[in-house]
Structure 1
Amino acid sequence: MSLDKPYANIPGTTIFDAEQSRKGYWLNQFCMSLMKAENRERFKKDERAYLDEWPMTEDQKKSVLSRDMNAMIALGGNIYFLAKIGATDGKSFQQMAGSMTGMTEEAYRDMMVGGGRPATWGREQEKK
């Protein structure tokens, strides 16, 4: 049963709520497993085999394998858990965020230092 979610229509935004949490439970548990060095090594040795140990959906597994952060979020991933994948890959949070926007790390950093995106971002597409 879906509740009334007035926040569900924010352009370009996926809200991590209880429904998203349930959807991404195993994806997020996998991410948390990467806090242990032995699990990071097992994952890096054979990513697919390690992912297959988790009862995630095939789409979730594919999004991890392709490092599609936006897809992982849409499939229930929490950015704070997903950061463990980036750390395993030797990427900073800033590099990960930049990849999610289609910007270089430098362009993303400059945008954020400059105050972030304008409040109208994403709404231009609604008018088309």
Structure 2
Amino acid sequence: MTDARVNIHEYLAEFDDIPGTRVFTAARARKGYWINQFAMSLMKAENRERFKADERAYLDEWTISDEAKAAILARDYNRLLDLGGNVYFLSKLFSTDGLPFAEAVSTMTDMTWPEYRQMMLDGGRSPEGNRSIKGKY
């Protein structure tokens, strides 16, 4: 009889082997709590106005690391995902900047917005060659 129990840490570590993907796990949620709370604050018009008037001052009101603040100011979305940001919460930042979701997401790839748009219109990224970092894709 095989033991069906799975080591949850080993299981979750497998997600890190998916090229170009950051799976939003409970650990990432805990890590990025304040990044995501900040992003959700941008749902209110008065907060968007305050943020746009002085981004750094608004960020300094939050319990966010300097590294995360720098990533927000630089709009380094991949870094924010690494720090626990959730793309759906970060969409409030995209929207505050006037960026459509797909255009903002294109900045997280090695493609320009027109290239990304065309790739998606053509059916998305091929799974061929995109299966494993350890296996060199």
- In the superposition, the TM-score normalised over structure 2's length comes to 0.85
Identity %: 51
Distance 2:126 2:36 in 1: 30
C-alpha distance after superposition, 1:64-96 (max 9, x if no partner): 000011011011000000010010000000110
How far 1:29 moved relative to its partner? 0.1
Question: What is the correspondence of 1:49-128 to structure 2 with a 5 Å cutoff?
Answer: 49-119=57-127, 120-121=129-130, 123=132, 127=136
Bigger helix fraction = 1
- In the superposition, the TM-score normalised over structure 1's length comes to 0.91
Distance 1:72 1:112 in 2: 23
- The residue that corresponds to 2:25 in the other structure is 17
Among 34, 49, 66, the alignment partner of 1:26 is: 34
**What's the RMSD between the two structures over aligned residues?**
1.9
Unaligned runs of 5+ in 1: none
Provide closer, same or farther for how the CA distance between residues 124 and 23 of structure 1 changes in structure 2, counting only shifts above 3 A.
closer
C-alpha distance after superposition, 1:80-115 (max 9, x if no partner): 000100100000001101111132222111101112
Q: Which has the larger radius of gyration?
A: 2
Distance 1:80 1:58 in 2: 22
Unaligned runs of 5+ in 2: 1-7
Instruction: Check conservation: 2:48, 2:96, Cα contact below 8 A.
Output: yes
Instruction: Check conservation: 1:48, 1:65, Cα contact below 8 A.
Output: yes
Among 3, 8, 20, the alignment partner of 2:9 is: 3
Distance 1:48 1:126 in 2: 41
Aligned length: 127
